[in-house]
Amino acid sequence: MYKCVYNSKGMSYKKIKKNRQSVGYYLKIYFISVFVSLAIFTVGSFFKPQFSCANSATCISDLSINVDNNAVGIFQGRKVIPPKVDLAQAISESSVLGVRVSNSEKHIYIDLSTQTLYAYEGKTQIMKTLISSGKWGRTPVGNFNIWLKLPVTRMAGGQGADAYNLPNVQWVMYFYRDFGTHTAYWHNNFGHEMSHGCINMRLIDSRELYAWADGPSSESRGTPVSVCDQFKEPGTCIQKNPII
Amino acid sequence: MITLRHQIELESIFLISIVAALSLFFVVQRNNQGVSVPIVSVDSPLPMESPEQNIFSQISPDGTKEVIMKIIRNEDDTQTHSFFTTDTSGANEKYIFTRTLEKEANMTIPYNTWSSNNQYFFIQENAKEGTNIFAFKASGEAFSDTEQYFDVTGLFKKKDTGNNFSEATGWASESLIIINTTKEDGTKGPSYWFEIPSKAIIQLSTEF
């Protein structure tokens, strides 16, 4: 790399040459560094936390209406007796509850810090209730729309001691993949994290919310759902690293 | 010359490593940065509360049952708390329990009072000495000839887990009350299940 060059007096330019090479070399290193940092920054931006499924066993295969009044559920290694569901009656009850108070835009907000769900029509608060968000799987933070409503379905997932299989889960509203709001009949620990990523609600609350909220139609998207790390005050939804 | 070349290469690697580390740091920071997303501005009305209420109730998650607490203020300044369960229609009222407390103490019905199958419920006594939790059958029946209810906190203390009872948050299932604890040094301790009707106390690996 270092050549010896002599002038007419036979003196070496070695030192000057070495300095010139160093500057060029460092310039090259500088550009490589810039390239590396840009590459890391660009690629790194794509590596945000990934959310695949809330219910690993049913998230793709079972997003459909499913009633099984003879099945026994499993949660936390314990047998759970699911409620009997009369689908026709349930749907007619929920349609009676689905009354609007205004024509303002509907919006559901979930505050993960206080484990509280709020429903609004414009500025009018329709509902405020305690929920249970993800404990064994994170609830995705972001701004979504309800993309599927199911009056009843089955949810299953987990592994080993954490495996669960819950038939007759009612009033399900998916807002991101298979993450959604729904009834949790297997526990009563609302106000505390208790789910695999979904928003667990009491039956009385989830039924009312289901009746009130809209699924997608040919003209519009479903009711917006904002999952906030903190719903600090009206008008502000603090979201750290929202996925959407 | 070889040494100089190696030195320059080492410097280069060092420089690139620093730049890469800095880039990683910034990208991680950016990924975790909190952003405030403006949403529809809404008023947040405060919940309506009546200060003079002497009847309190808590509905079951499925909306079919209620625990009702009636408080009567006595002439000697003590308060008598009486508990009932009933269907939300008002039918099938069952008398459960009565306790009279000094005015400094009171009783409450926790939000998650009902077991998930509506077979049991628990209530909370808030006294100067601390919190007490009592669990009952919703039917009004006693657990045994000698036990009308389970003194959950008393049984927990008797178990001598080395941790202090902190709170009962709700039900993990049809028969498991979730208990949170504090350690002797005041930090958060492990959570437990209190199982009904076996009265087993099970330490959990998960904290609630």
Is the model's pLDDT at B116 over the cut of 50?
yes
How confident is the model at residue B106, as a pLDDT? 95
A55 in a structural domain? no
Pairing of strands A148-157, A164-176: antiparallel
Q: What is the homologous superfamily of the domain B55-203 according to CATH?
A: YVTN repeat-like/Quinoprotein amine dehydrogenase (2.130.10.10)
Q: Is the ipTM value over 0.85, yes or no?
A: no
**A43 and A77 within one domain:** no
What does the mean pLDDT of chain B come to? 86
Q: What is the mean pLDDT of residues A43-49?
A: 61
Convert the pLDDT of each residue in B164-195 to its tens digit.
999 999 999 999 999 999 999 999 999 999 99
Residue predicted with more confidence, A32 or A82: A82
Which residues of chain A lie closer than 8 angstroms to B198, CB-CB?
none
Mean pLDDT for chain A overall: 85
Look at residue A125 and tell me if it is in a domain: yes
Mutate to test the interface with B, among A110, A188, A193, A196 (most CBs of B within 10 A): A188
- Per-residue pLDDT reduced to its tens digit, B5-18: 666 677 777 767 77
Average pLDDT score over residue span A144-148: 97
Residue B48, pLDDT score:
41
CATH of the domain at A204: 2.40.440.10
Could B37 and A190 be called an inter-chain contact, meaning their C-beta atoms sit closer than 8 Å? no
Show which of residues 43-72 on chain B sit within 8 Å of chain A, judged by CB atoms.
43-45, 47, 59-63
Higher pLDDT, A201 or A72: A201
| Least confidently predicted of B24-38, B58-72, B83-97 | B24-38
Indicate if A26 and A78 belong to the same structural domain.
no
> Would residue A147 count as lying in a domain?
yes
- A213 pLDDT higher than 80: yes
Mean pLDDT over A35-63 rounds to 71
Please state which of the ranges A43-52, B50-59, B94-103, B107-116 shows the lowest mean pLDDT.
A43-52
State how far residue A55 is from chain B, nearest Cα, in angstroms.
19
B108 and A CB contact within 8 Å: no
- SS3 assignment, position B149: coil
**pLDDT over 70 (residue A45):** no
Are A40 and A84 in the same domain? no
**pLDDT for A12 beyond 90:** no
Confidence of residue B95 (pLDDT cuts 50, 70, 90): very high
| A152 plus A35 within the same structural domain | no
**Chain B positions in Cβ-Cβ contact with residue A132 (cut-off 8 Å):** none
pLDDT confidence bin for A242, thresholds 50/70/90? very high
How far, CA to CA in Å, does B178 sit from each of A28, A130, B57? 62, 17, 21
DSSP-derived 3-state class of residue A18? helix
Q: Is the pLDDT of residue B204 over 90?
A: yes
Q: Tell me the C-alpha to C-alpha distance, in Å, between residue B183 and each of A226, B62, B136, B175, B188.
A: 37, 35, 28, 25, 6
Same domain, A88 and A167: yes
What is the number of CB-based contacts under 8 A between chain A and chain B? 162
Of all residues in chain B, the percent with pLDDT exceeding 70 is 81
Exposed, middle or buried: residue B118 (CB in 10 Å: 0-12, 13-18, 19+)?
Answer: middle
Residue A13: inside a domain: yes
Q: Which of residues 169-208 of A touch B (CB under 8 A)?
A: 185-194, 202-204
Give the confidence band of A2 by pLDDT, cuts at 50, 70, 90.
very low
Angle at B98 between CA B92 and CA B103, to 5 degrees: 135
Which chain A residues are closer than 8 Å to B31 by Cβ?
Answer: 44-45, 47-48, 241
Is the CB of residue B178 less than 8 Å away from at least one CB of chain A? yes
pLDDT band at B3 (very low <50, low <70, confident <90, very high): low
- Give the whole-number percent of chain A exceeding pLDDT 90: 54
Q: Which residues of A are less than 8 Å from B41 in CB distance?
A: 123, 234-235
Residue A65 lies in a domain: no
Strand spans (E) along chain B = 34-38, 55-59, 65-73, 79-87, 94-101, 106-108, 120-127, 130-137, 150-151, 164-171, 176-182, 192-195, 201-203
Would you state the pLDDT for residue B44?
A: 36
Is A197 part of any domain? yes
Using the Cβ of A58 and the Cβ atoms of chain B, whether some distance falls under 8 Å is answered with no
Contact flag A204-B61 (C-beta cutoff 8 Å): yes
Q: What is the pLDDT of residue B53?
A: 52
Phi-psi region of B80 (alpha: psi -120 to 50; beta: other; left: phi over 0): beta
**In a shared domain, residues A38 and A77:** no
How sure is the predictor about A44, in pLDDT bands with cuts at 50, 70 and 90? Answer: low
Q: Which domain holds residue A173?
A: 73-238
pLDDT mean over A184-195: 97
Q: Mind listing the pLDDT tens digit for each residue in B117-171?
A: 999 999 999 999 999 999 999 999 999 999 999 999 999 999 999 999 999 999 9
Predicted confidence at residue A180, as pLDDT, reads: 97
Window from A19-28, A29-38, A65-74, B28-37 with minimum mean pLDDT: B28-37
For chain A, the domain total comes to 2
Asked whether residue A232 is assigned to any structural domain, the reply reads yes
Tell me the nearest-neighbour CA distance from B32 into chain A, angstroms: 5
Where along chain B do its domains lie? 55-203
The answer to whether residue A107 is domain-embedded is yes
* Contact (CB<8Å) B43/A234: yes
Mean pLDDT of the B196-206 span: 94
| Interface contact B116-A238, CB threshold 8 A | no
Residue range A86-144, pLDDT digits in tens? 989 888 877 766 666 778 899 999 999 999 999 999 889 999 999 999 999 999 999 99
